């Protein structure tokens, strides 16, 4: 009798792994089928519906006076804003989008002078002005005007602050 109970327990232990194998195979086949349907059927249909509209919207949203030249990055400018007694600092990266590729080359050549002008322009701003996000467009306009004044002609079409950390 003791042998019979041992024999009945052994087949039950073997049955559990056999049930897991078909489930794993079915799951893998379902994932593969879903990927195939998404890639070859649903993907192209969705892309046709979205792409032309997205391109048209992007073209109408973009400002007409935006420069088309390369962006010259001036990274990791660190300065103490006015009136802080050197207890606060601003870490900023400035992207200057040139109006033409030739202008971008000049921005690279005059990088040191441009850095100095930007540091001067941002350094005279108060912490309140720098912290107020609604004044960010005004700051960008001042930076653009300062750089264009240094270069003696309009070279910068757009100014970006991809990094702007005030501590």
How confident is the model over 71-116, as pLDDT tens digits?
999 999 998 888 878 788 899 999 999 999 999 999 999 999 999 9
Same domain assignment for residues 40 and 103: no
Where is the domain boundary, 39, 62, 85? 62
How high is the pLDDT of residue 23? 80
Same domain assignment for residues 39 and 76: no
Q: Crossing angle for the helix pair 111-123 and 101-109, nearest 10 degrees? A: 80
Q: How many domains is the chain built from?
A: 2
Same domain assignment for residues 38 and 90: no
**Residue 22 vs residues 19, 29, 67: alpha-carbon distances, Å:** 6, 10, 60
Q: Considering all CA atoms of the chain, what is the largest pairwise distance in Å, rounded to the nearest integer?
A: 104
50: tokens are 């979205």
Burial profile 139-160: b = 16 or more Cβ within 10 angstroms, e = fewer: bbebbbebbeeebeeebbbbbe
How high is the pLDDT of residue 106? 92
Same domain assignment for residues 22 and 5: yes
Same domain assignment for residues 141 and 83: yes
Same domain assignment for residues 3 and 35: yes
Closest CA to 147 of 134, 160, 132, 129: 160
Same domain assignment for residues 95 and 21: no
**158 conformational bin, left if phi > 0, alpha if psi -120 to 50, beta if neither:** beta
Same domain assignment for residues 55 and 128: no
Same domain assignment for residues 29 and 88: no
pTM above 0.75, yes or no: no
Dihedral, CA of residue 151, residue 153, residue 157 and residue 160, to nearest 10? 30
Where is the domain boundary, 12, 27, 62? 62
119: tokens are 């540091």
Same domain assignment for residues 9 and 46: yes
For position 80, which CATH number holds? Answer: 3.30.479.30
How high is the pLDDT of residue 6? 52
How high is the pLDDT of residue 139? 93
Same domain assignment for residues 43 and 104: no
How high is the pLDDT of residue 43? 67
Where is the domain boundary, 42, 62, 82? 62
Structural domain for 48, as ranges: 1-62
Helix (H, G, I), strand (E, B), or coil: what is residue 3? helix
- Looking at residue 81, the DSSP 8-state letter turns out to be P
Q: pLDDT below 50 — which residues of the chain?
A: 53-64
How high is the pLDDT of residue 95? 95
Same domain assignment for residues 162 and 90: yes
**Residue 55 vs residues 16, 64, 69: alpha-carbon distances, Å:** 55, 15, 20
Instruction: Give 74's contacts (C-beta < 8 A, 6+ positions apart).
Output: 93, 94, 95, 96, 111, 114, 115, 118
How high is the pLDDT of residue 158? 93
């Amino acid at each position: 009798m003791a042998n019979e109970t041992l024999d009945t327990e052994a087949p039950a232990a073997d049955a559990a792994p056999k049930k897991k194998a078909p489930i794993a195979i079915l799951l893998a086949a379902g994932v593969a089928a879903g990927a195939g349907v998404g890639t070859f059927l649903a993907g192209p249909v969705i892309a046709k519906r979205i792409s032309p509209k997205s391109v048209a919207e992007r073209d109408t949203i973009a400002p007409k006076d935006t420069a088309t030249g390369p962006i010259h990055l001036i990274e990791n400018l660190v300065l103490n804003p006015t009136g802080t007694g050197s207890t606060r600092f601003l870490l900023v990266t400035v992207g200057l989008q040139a109006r033409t590729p030739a202008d971008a080359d000049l921005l690279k050549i005059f990088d040191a002078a441009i850095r100095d002008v930007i540091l001067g322009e941002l350094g005279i701003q108060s912490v309140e002005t720098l912290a107020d996000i609604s004044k960010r467009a005004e700051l960008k306009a001042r930076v653009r005007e300062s750089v264009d004044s240094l270069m003696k002609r309009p070279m910068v079409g757009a100014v970006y602050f991809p990094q702007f950390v005030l501590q």
